[in-house]
């Protein structure tokens, strides 16, 4: 595949045309995967011998936590593209992804707290992973607020890109905190390439379907919201031209 062909989608019109074609299919696949994965996980998987029925929270907690981190990493890549190549679509894609990532982080924090209460005996602990996740959520809020606070689109894109670079430290920290900080309540990763460390197959397969559903939902929402940001930017430009003329 010619990677240079990707730059064609930096053209707002081409981006909207291309995403319009795939958006309905991605949306249908997202809904199907989410319904199948969550119904499978909730109704047709057994209790865990230690966690009891709270193991069913894994189908929401793990995919949302995964997407919370990966959404920020996607924003990092598109922010870097903006800084280096000044493509507006990439800056707008980062802006579009932020509320989606923030909701994913909130779901991960909420389901983690609800699971933690009966399992750890507390809703919250200042554990490395939990704390870095909370800071990541605050970065999401700060990033969204910064976009809203600055009127000039290019200045907003510049400043939010810098904020995104700084926040990436916490996105990576949230991902790897359990590996190098051998303390805190949070257990190791639920998914691993090592079969011994992985969750049992009976939980693993519905979890994979749920992860696919969350990934597809994220892609669908980012496409839709980026289209909206492109149109909103064009609208602002037309209104400004009208005021001046």
> What residues contact residue 116 under an 8 Å CB cut-off, 6+ apart?
122, 123, 124, 125, 185
Q: At its nearest, how many Å lie between another protein and the CB of residue 43?
A: 6
Footprint of another protein (CB under 8 A): 38, 42-43, 47, 52-54, 56-57, 60-61, 64, 99-100, 103, 106-107, 110-111, 114-115, 117-118, 217, 221, 224-225, 227-228, 231-232, 234-235, 238-239, 242
How many other CB atoms are there within 10 angstroms of residue 85's CB atom? 10
Q: What is the rounded CA–CA span in Å between residue 89 and residue 81? A: 10
Kindly tell me which of 133 and 173 has the beta carbon lying closer to another protein: 133
Kindly tell me which of 40 and 176 has the beta carbon lying closer to another protein: 40
Query: 149 — phi, psi (to 5°)?
Result: -80, -25
Distance separating the N- and C-terminal Cα atoms of the chain = 45
Q: At its nearest, how many Å lie between another protein and the CB of residue 49?
A: 13
Give CA angle at 105 (175, 98), nearest 5°.
100
Q: At its nearest, how many Å lie between another protein and the CB of residue 217?
A: 7
Q: At its nearest, how many Å lie between another protein and the CB of residue 99?
A: 7
Give CA angle at 150 (144, 151), nearest 5°.
125
Kindly tell me which of 58 and 173 has the beta carbon lying closer to another protein: 58
* CA 212 to centroid of chain Cα atoms: 13
Kindly tell me which of 188 and 245 has the beta carbon lying closer to another protein: 245
Kindly tell me which of 195 and 243 has the beta carbon lying closer to another protein: 243
Nearest CA to 40 among 206, 188, 167, 179? 206
Q: At its nearest, how many Å lie between another protein and the CB of residue 86?
A: 23
């Amino acid at each position: 595949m010619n990677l240079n062909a990707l730059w064609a989608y930096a053209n707002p019109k081409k981006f909207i045309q291309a995403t319009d074609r795939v958006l309905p299919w991605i949306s249908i696949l997202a809904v199907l995967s989410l319904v199948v994965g969550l119904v499978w996980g909730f109704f047709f998987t057994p209790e865990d011998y230690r966690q009891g029925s709270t193991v069913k929270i894994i189908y929401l907690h793990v995919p949302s936590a995964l997407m919370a981190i990966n959404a920020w990493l996607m924003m990092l890549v598109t922010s870097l593209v903006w800084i280096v190549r000044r493509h507006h679509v990439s800056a707008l894609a980062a802006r579009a992804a932020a509320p989606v990532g923030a909701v994913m982080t909130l779901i991960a924090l909420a389901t983690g707290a609800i699971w933690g209460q009966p399992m750890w005996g507390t809703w919250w602990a200042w554990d490395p992973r939990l704390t870095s996740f909370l800071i990541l959520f605050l970065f999401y809020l700060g990033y969204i607020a910064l976009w809203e606070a600055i009127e000039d689109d290019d200045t907003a894109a510049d400043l939010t890109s810098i904020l995104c670079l700084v926040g990436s430290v916490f996105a990576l920290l949230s991902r790897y905190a359990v590996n190098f900080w051998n303390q805190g309540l949070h257990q190791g990763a639920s998914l691993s390439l090592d079969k011994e460390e992985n969750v049992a197959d009976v939980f693993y397969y519905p979890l994979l379907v749920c992860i696919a559903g969350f990934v597809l939902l994220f892609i669908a929402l980012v496409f839709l919201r980026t289209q909206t940001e492109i149109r909103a930017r064009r609208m602002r430009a037309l209104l400004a031209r009208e005021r001046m003329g």
